[in-house]
Amino acid sequence: MAPRIGKGSEVARQQMATELSETKRQLQELRAKVEANCDYVGGKFAEEARRIHHGEVAHRDIYGEATDDEAKELSDEGVEFARIPWLPRHDS
């Protein structure tokens, strides 16, 4: 007897596709809000977040990139931040 593989219902596949599409839309909307309201600091995110946390510079909202190790160090130090999955733009 052959196993039944890949025989999910069409309704379930359509629902998953709809949910994925909505999640992507929400992430794109979040990205647009972050880019419009925060300063981009690139690869210096961890350094700048630490400086803001310690009051060395005035508070401002920032975004950029950090390695897994840098993110762990920031978390261990009590620096509040969030990691957001960044989807590629459709216009690039």
For the stretch 20-29, pLDDT in tens is 999 999 999 9
CA distance 13 to 49: 41
pLDDT bin (cut points 50, 70, 90) of residue 9 is: confident
Model pLDDT for residues 15-68, shown as the tens digit of each residue: 899 999 999 999 999 999 999 999 999 999 999 999 999 999 999 999 999 999
Predicted TM-score (pTM) of the model is 0.76
What percentage of the chain's residues is helix, strand, coil (to nearest 5)?
50, 10, 40
* Residue-level pLDDT at 2: 60
φ, ψ of residue 81 in degrees (nearest 5): -160, 170
* Residue-level pLDDT at 26: 94
